[in-house]
Amino acid sequence: QVHLVESGGGVVQAGDSLRLSCAASSRTESAYIMAWFRRTPGKEREFVAAIRWSDTLTYYGDSVKGRFTISRDNAKTTVWLQMNSLKPEDTAIYYCAAMSGGVLSSPSSYAYWGQGTQVTVSS
């Protein structure tokens, strides 16, 4: 069992930066991919970014490429999402997730989820 806890959300202005953290309760050897998703009211969870534990290979959703960066620590217990040049449309609840295999951008592939952290970007 892997417990994930997000932190770092808040209210910022357009153009600002924010860094989200996802702390895992234990080394996530059983998790192959760590990812961030986001959700806005009335919409399904949107894939934001993912990182492969073994070699830190990263993947990004089209809407955040070039602005967001996902990374992890060497102990494999923390994943970060650095968000730059934030836009009002980035406003959402951001979730950390972990999976051992499946479709990278599909929420149903992920067995473990955090409780989410709210990010609000004002114009």
Among 10-14, 25-29, 101-105, which range has the highest average pLDDT? Answer: 10-14
DSSP reduced 3-state for 110:
coil
Q: Residue 31 — very low, low, confident or very high, per pLDDT cuts 50/70/90?
A: low
Model pLDDT, residue 55: 80
> What are the pLDDT digits (tens) for 75-99?
778 999 999 999 999 999 999 999 9
Which residues lie below 8 Å from residue 42, measured CB to CB, with a gap of 6+? none
Which residues lie below 8 Å from residue 87, measured CB to CB, with a gap of 6+? 14, 121
DSSP reduced 3-state for 92:
strand
DSSP strand pairing (18-24 vs 4-7): antiparallel
d(CA 51, CA 100): 12
